[in-house]
Chain A
């Protein structure tokens, strides 16, 4: 009987180890450990054993049962792990197949640059104002101290909507200076961006409609040093902290003193190259201290208040930022262009 049990153990363990499927394993469990299994059959013969042998064989039988159960459990774990592995292997995908991408729209590069500018000024405590594009000559020119015979008033330069030249498409965002001062009084710290119009034929660097951003600060004690500090801070945010700037005198009817601001050419570092037309500098904006006449035109006493204003073209900024070679691309709106930004 002892031999029988050992034979069962050996045979069963071999079969279990060889089993490759869960169903086969279950059949083995029934075969050996089931109610009608081989081990049970052996145990049923226990009654014919001597009292001395019975506990010994009983012990052995339990031992065999335990080892078979353990082996079945172990093999079962092996098999289910294998099954999982097989399943995962079958489920493998080609990760180089393109993903299912939800369509994503793109912001126009011009407005990306504009929004960047807006954020910079908002963070400095400015507000953003919006105003009319169809504007009175009074606001676009007269209140900005542009002389009656200023060339920019010519019908060859500005678009007019009234025969008496009193209504026009604004040729600059500067009328927003007047609207801001008239509408809100002082103190004021604002920027205003938007479309402006000039009678330029379309080419690689011109468009009859383009965009400007205007800024105005008026308060007690505002100085040209404030103008420089503010603009230098903004320029360094846009063009990087190492940017070298140059302020040089210029003329605008609505500021005095006036200046234009250049940055040292980022391409040649000031040596002179085609990008900067050999000058070593690239002009980026115009600015100045608000002309006392303009303050007075808006009912603000220039003896008490002073301010600075600035304006810059956005197209050139966007073109430079993204190395866009031709302004026509901006207004062409080819999706192959838009999707690059």
Chain B
């Protein structure tokens, strides 16, 4: 919401408060100021000047050398290429060393040998346009001395044409002998034809003594380019553009231009929270300013003279068949409207508030919407068929072309303003094109209604057309505001002499709001805030925002208070506490720490496990990543997931940002591979990553909720990583988490992994996860031309499998005996089977087995391999003899031979 400080001044006289102090105070009391704009900040050293003298540039066919009075002793000389100025005109002058909007710096210069000490400004150069100053529109006559034929061989107008020569029909060439501005954009001229003169008053701005013009003897006017059916390039300097010739009252040479063009205002932009729609208006903000600075607010009661012909009840009939969607409908009528630009002060205020001026009637509705926060709509009475307005639900299939020219398909949840036969507007959103205010509009209906917020919101959303009006309605507006707003509009019509107001008001009140009173309890407010504010002060703070006790006093005790109609957000004691706190100052509330401790506190066991897992991964060189929980369905294809895989049953986002983020992942593998591949493409050489992230599976209990198990995933490539590197990392993590008794089993059937380099990890019968080399075809899907390794560990299973606190085992007091054995066995026999068999064959002395060699080749038969282990045997109560050790090894070898056909090499 943009607030003009000049407009605000009309309601609250603050005296001199700097923008910074104003913003700070308002922000601290709850109306956050986003930015303050000084409209004239970019304009410096630009003044009003009067053109004293104009002479044609001696060395140019189009430039003028002007002597300008800028309020100094000596006039300044400025060269301009514009043709719409005349001696005596008041114009904006950017003096030597001046600044214009957009950071344009103007300095003295030299134009074809003639000194120029500044620049005359156009509207555009002051960041304005013709809607801001409609009178500054320029009409250009076709000047024959500017004529450049399209084809030099065949000019339409002969070179050296003389006064009186016929151009076509009644149009002849004429030389300007005299041209005197009459004010208001018209000029008195004296033209020489051949042997006669003509003295028309013209409205062309670019005519000067000595020019040759095309004079229509029949209409006594000068021809424009249009009249001659000429193209712009035939008359390159006869353009509808030029210097902004000022027609403001009471200005003189030397005056600062900023107040003249309304650039002396400061505009404050507020962030208004959705609970305060009342602050989306000048009056609403004025109330807040008044409360913040504790200064009185001057409100204005609109007064309408009325008296136009006709009786309102006969002219207009309003029906509201859906009262729940239209709690109130207020309307008035204006007749004999004269559509014209609105006055400068109104245009300036609209502009400051970010609204472009259009015409007096439309500007009035916008002005009232800004001032009162009440959206208004004006429509042309002649298009209200049958003089009847029906506020009803749209019919199925009904269509309406809105003011923006779009055809809208309506549904019965939408509310329309209709006449007897058709919709003429989309209630609370936008008017219809069929009832738009146009140049020849005579009678106007002003609508000031209250529509149900969520209906308007849904309509705007469904049609994708959130407007200024709908944004206000959807928040819920003050139902008491419609009448003053419509009266204000009518008052402005009379002030602007834009039409005649018909007596009376149509006001359908389907819901009569009752004054709301709630209990104010100062003790509870202090208890909630942790303050010791005097109750009397509290009631005074509340009074500032219009919340008063029923008796209007400031008691020292609980009392009922009346909440104003525009403060629907104030419902109970907590809201009153906020109002008190706002004006007492949040920053004046003390700082305390609450007493009391929690039974549950600190990291819980799961969180501790998560922390430990992270620490372990990082200790192993793996860095943490964060990936999106949502993925593309195509990712399942990328990891070669079979079409019938249950993992494809992802929960779907119904309104995703895009396909890429449209389903909730059931596996973290594609996320990890995505990041590995990205790093690969960034040419990072050795990469180790981990993530503890969630996967999502529908609970299927009708709640729509999900199980969200966490997966600890690891990923790596480069830096010498191989299957055993990844396996070693997983083993270290499991051991670090004190998970005992896990084992690895070859997994050949997982389509995402290399069939010969993949293992499932078990603890007992519980699957802890999977690890291995990513299937080369999958790696290729990710464009990674190297071996990728990954592990996916079910964090829940890890947590469940964690051992308790360690129990000390006495250190060995007797030496161990080591025996190395090399076994020959089938090539396909997993080492794990041998190891497991070795442990079973031992008779209680074997403490550790470690693999130290696997060999195939010379000396080992075809289809066999040699596997070498180092066995450590020890007794806890004595030194072991060689015989005892050998006895144990013998048992082991027997079992190996029997079960696995594996013998000593």
Contact = CB atoms under 8 A, between A and B. Distances in A.
B593 A229 contact: yes
A306 to B, nearest CB: 6
A242 interface: no
A22 interface: no
B696 interface: yes
B572 interface: yes
A107 B615 CA distance: 9
Nearest to B529: A224
The CB with the most chain B CB atoms within 10 A, among A155, A187, A224, is that of A224
Nearest to A121: B601
A159 interface: yes
B623 A223 contact: no
B738 interface: no
A176 to B, nearest CB: 14
Interface string A242-275: 0000111111000011111000000000000000
B582 interface: yes
A331 B528 CA distance: 41
A150 B457 CA distance: 10
A293 to B, nearest CB: 9
Contact of A134 (B596, B657, B696): B696
Contact of B629 (A156, A209, A248): A209
Contact of A127 (B598, B619, B653): B598
A184 B600 CA distance: 10
A338 interface: yes
Given A161-B654, A163-B654, A225-B530, A105 B273 contact: no
Given A335-B623, A335-B684, A155 B581 contact: no
A133 B687 contact: no
A229 B592 contact: yes
B629 A228 contact: no
B223 interface: no
A interface secondary structure, majority: mixed
Contact of A161 (B621, B629, B651, B675): B651
Interface stretch (A40-48, A61-69, A73-81, A214-222): A214-222
Contacts of B593: 226, 229-230, 233
Interface in A143-166: 148-151, 154-156, 159-163, 166
Contact of A187 (B276, B598, B679): B598
Contacts of A291: 574
A339 interface: yes
A278 interface: yes
A106 B587 contact: no
B429 to A, nearest CB: 15
Given A148-B454, A223-B528, A228-B589, A248 B626 contact: no
Contacts of A39: none
Q: How large is the interface on B (under 10, 10 to 19, 20 to 34, 35 or more residues)?
A: 35 or more
A160 B620 contact: no
B623 A336 contact: no
A134 B626 contact: no
Nearest to B33: A279
A151 B475 CA distance: 10
B275 A251 contact: yes
B452 to A, nearest CB: 10
Given A104-B619, A217-B594, A247 B586 contact: yes
B880 to A, nearest CB: 36
A249 B708 contact: no
A136 B703 contact: yes
A134 B679 contact: no
Contacts of A106: 618, 623-624
Q: Which 7 A-B pairs have the closest CB atoms?
A: A225-B530, A103-B621, A223-B530, A249-B30, A257-B578, A105-B618, A167-B704
14 contacts: A105-B688, A122-B603, A128-B604, A134-B706, A149-B454, A209-B629, A223-B527, A229-B590, A247-B589, A249-B30, A257-B582, A258-B578, A335-B679, A339-B623
Interface of A: 102-108, 110-111, 122, 125-128, 130, 132-136, 148-151, 154-156, 159-163, 166-167, 169, 184, 187-189, 195, 197, 199, 201, 208-209, 217, 219, 221-226, 228-230, 232-233, 246-251, 256-260, 277-278, 289, 291-292, 306, 330-336, 338-339
Given A159-B653, A209-B630, A256-B578, 18 more contacts: A105-B617, A105-B619, A111-B626, A122-B602, A128-B603, A133-B629, A209-B628, A221-B594, A225-B591, A228-B592, A229-B590, A229-B591, A259-B586, A291-B574, A333-B678, A335-B623, A335-B679, A336-B684
